[in-house]
Amino acid sequence: MTNNAPPRLPKDPGQKKLYVAAGSALAVLIVAALGVIFVLPAGFQPNNSPVTANNPAATETAGAKHTATAAPDQSARRERTDAEAEVEQHRITAEMLLSDVLRKQTALESDGIKIWGAEQLTTSYSEALDILATANTSFDEARYTEAAAEFRKVLTILDTLDASKDERYGRAMADGNGALAIDNAESAVPAFTIALALRPNDPSAAAGQARAQSLPDVLKSMEQGRRLEISGDLDGAYQAFKSAVVLDPTYRPAQEEARRTGQLVADRDYMKFISEAIQAIDGRKFSSAAKALSAAQKIRPETHELAELSERLRDERQAAQIGGLSLSARQSAAEENWEKAAAHYKRILSMEPTVAVALNGLRRAERMIRLHRQIAVYLDDPDRLSSNGPLEHARQVLRAATASENKGPRLARESARLGDLVAAASRPRTVILKSDGETAVTIYRVSHFGSFTEKRLELRPGKYTAVGSRPGFRDVRIAFRVSGTGEPTTLVVQCTERI
């Protein structure tokens, strides 16, 4: 589908001028082309007068006539061409300046010049727009020299405005802060709007704008607080003044009123909490006493009476806690729950590092924890006992368990199981190896046996790996376990898969 509607000029005046300038350039090129087609050939039209060697007079007359006619025409054309070239050069210059203006204007408008450039200092943005309108008119009327001069003025003004950003920011901040100082929100808001337009991410400008916008609500809360205090509602007055501080933490009148009324409320509440704490300590209600003292401490953290009550609460609460933990630790030890007993003793020592009962109890609990863990290593993996080193260590652990003075039912059961495992691991078991007489057999950590058809050997219970190899055949690897009970272990190792 083809759209035959004529192209529309952009609404933006600067962009419109670019379209007009482009159209003007196209028109000049068309005129020049027509001149080449229709004017220049006229100078080369042939003379109809006969000119031959037999008619020299005619030749001389024709030549003189042609020279007299062609010279003025060519001179006039050259003058017109030079003038047109000069006009074209001025137009191009004006277009280039207009392009510079549009780029600069676009950049500054993206920086908010419509906001911060409105105020007249040495110049203003409206002044630049007025001269730009005049320049556009000059350009439309083909007064390109005037248009270029006016575009240069616009560029100068825009550069001046760009260079004035810091000064304008400083003036806007001063105006905004001055307005805040006299509670004038109507003047402060636009001032900080200008500052933020100049420096969008500036924290001082953003803070000033926030203060200016919240100022009406701050003043309303201040008035409410005064009315409530007069009516005797001290808590309400304090909350109102505090709300004003929340709205603007830097507003000094709100800070002062909130501090004053807050102190009155604190004095009243402090005495109330001290009284509650004393009663709770006497009744051994330590949580309630701590809560009351904490509330009083938030009001007056360093008073002498608060320090004495806090120390009394700490001592009585600690004595009660140590007594309870000691009882729990003894019960856990009696149940052979040594991990839990150790945790209780550690809590006691974290409160009072010199409690002898806790020190001795922790040492005993940790010793028993280590013993049970060592036993568990072999109970969980009896095959470890197939090696001499672990087997000897298991015997040492078993002797320590047997000699322990804290031997309860749990330790007795685990010691008995470990003793059975050690006894079984100490008795070698018969293992029957069978092969094909061609396969060389090796048992890791035992020996290399070579080729055979059947071989008997004695191995302690545990896990082993047998490997068979035979030239031309793929090796075989067999993991097997020798049990401490039951029939002898029989294992067939032979290579049967050809390579």
Tell me which of 389, 405, 426 is where a domain ends. Answer: 426
Q: Quickly state the pLDDT bin for 35 (edges 50, 70, 90).
A: very low
| 407 and 440 assigned to the same domain | no
Q: Is residue 280 part of a domain?
A: no
Domain range for 418 is 302-426
pLDDT number for residue 39: 38
Q: Quickly state the pLDDT bin for 492 (edges 50, 70, 90).
A: very high
| 325 and 407 assigned to the same domain | yes
Task: With a cut of 50, say whether residue 190 has pLDDT above it.
Answer: yes
Percent of the chain with pLDDT over 70: 84
| 151 and 174 assigned to the same domain | no
Cβ atoms of 366 and 342 within 8 Å: the answer is: yes
Non-local CB neighbours of 281 within 8 Å, separated by 6+ positions: 289, 309, 312, 313, 316
Task: With a cut of 90, say whether residue 2 has pLDDT above it.
Answer: no
In the sheet with 454-459, reading across from the earlier edge strand, the strands are 454-459, 429-434, 489-492
Task: With a cut of 90, say whether residue 163 has pLDDT above it.
Answer: no
Task: Please tell me the least confidently modeled range out of 13-27, 293-307, 375-389.
Answer: 13-27
Per-residue burial over 381-418, b = 16 or more CB atoms within 10 Å of its CB, e = otherwise: ebbbbbeeebbebbbebbeebeeeeeeeeebeebbeeb
| 33 and 145 assigned to the same domain | yes
Tell me which of 163, 196, 213 is where a domain ends. Answer: 163
Q: Quickly state the pLDDT bin for 429 (edges 50, 70, 90).
A: confident
pLDDT number for residue 71: 55
Q: Quickly state the pLDDT bin for 309 (edges 50, 70, 90).
A: very high
CB atoms within 10 A of CB 230: 9
Task: With a cut of 80, say whether residue 53 has pLDDT above it.
Answer: no
List the structure tokens of 194. Answer: 């200008």
Nearest to 144 by CA among 102, 80, 103, 83: 83
Q: Quickly state the pLDDT bin for 482 (edges 50, 70, 90).
A: confident
CB atoms within 10 A of CB 97: 21
Task: With a cut of 50, say whether residue 58 has pLDDT above it.
Answer: no
Q: Is residue 367 part of a domain?
A: yes
Residue in the block written with tokens 């029957």: 432
Q: Is residue 444 part of a domain?
A: yes
pLDDT number for residue 81: 82
Cβ atoms of 445 and 464 within 8 Å: the answer is: yes
Q: Is residue 286 part of a domain?
A: no
| 316 and 421 assigned to the same domain | yes
Average pLDDT over residues 140-163: 91
Distances (CA, A) of 473 to 149, 468, 476, 492, 496: 100, 10, 9, 16, 7
Non-local CB neighbours of 405 within 8 Å, separated by 6+ positions: none
Task: With a cut of 80, say whether residue 65 has pLDDT above it.
Answer: no
Q: Is residue 281 part of a domain?
A: no
pLDDT number for residue 73: 65
Mind listing the pLDDT tens digit for each residue in 233-292? Answer: 999 999 999 999 999 999 999 999 999 999 899 888 999 999 999 999 988 899 999 999
pLDDT number for residue 52: 36
Q: Quickly state the pLDDT bin for 20 (edges 50, 70, 90).
A: very low
- Assign residue 173 the CATH number of its domain: 1.25.40
Angle, CA 481 vertex, CA 476 and CA 485 arms, to 5°? 150
Non-local CB neighbours of 144 within 8 Å, separated by 6+ positions: 87, 90, 91, 93, 94, 138
| 175 and 84 assigned to the same domain | no
Q: Is residue 276 part of a domain?
A: no
Average pLDDT over residues 13-34: 44
Q: Is residue 368 part of a domain?
A: yes
Task: With a cut of 50, say whether residue 380 has pLDDT above it.
Answer: yes
Distances (CA, A) of 210 to 113, 187, 215: 22, 13, 9
Cβ atoms of 467 and 433 within 8 Å: the answer is: no
pLDDT number for residue 103: 93
pLDDT number for residue 110: 84
| 377 and 406 assigned to the same domain | yes
| 219 and 255 assigned to the same domain | yes
Distances (CA, A) of 459 to 393, 425, 428, 452: 19, 9, 5, 18
| 176 and 234 assigned to the same domain | yes
| 383 and 472 assigned to the same domain | no
Tell me which of 426, 450, 477 is where a domain ends. Answer: 426
Cβ atoms of 95 and 26 within 8 Å: the answer is: no
Q: How far is CA 6 from the centre of its chain?
A: 52
Task: With a cut of 60, say whether residue 123 has pLDDT above it.
Answer: yes
Q: Is residue 51 part of a domain?
A: no
Question: Could you tell me which residues are beta bridge partners of residue 159?
Answer: none
Q: Quickly state the pLDDT bin for 76 (edges 50, 70, 90).
A: low
Pairwise CA distance, residues 367 & 405, whole Å: 11
| 264 and 318 assigned to the same domain | no
Pairwise CA distance, residues 443 & 94, whole Å: 99
pLDDT number for residue 383: 80
- Provide the mean pLDDT of the chain: 83
> What are the two backbone dihedrals, phi and then psi, of residue 456, each rounded to the nearest 5 degrees?
-110, 140
Distances (CA, A) of 153 to 101, 147, 158, 251: 10, 10, 9, 46
Angle, CA 292 vertex, CA 289 and CA 297 arms, to 5°? 120
One DSSP character per residue, 237-255 reads: HHHHHHHHHHH-TT-HHHH
Percent of the chain with pLDDT over 90: 54
Output Rg (C-alpha) for the chain, integer angstroms: 53
Q: Quickly state the pLDDT bin for 117 (edges 50, 70, 90).
A: confident
Give the amino acid at 428.
P
| Tally of domains in the chain | 4
pLDDT number for residue 364: 92
Task: With a cut of 70, say whether residue 16 has pLDDT above it.
Answer: no
| 328 and 245 assigned to the same domain | no
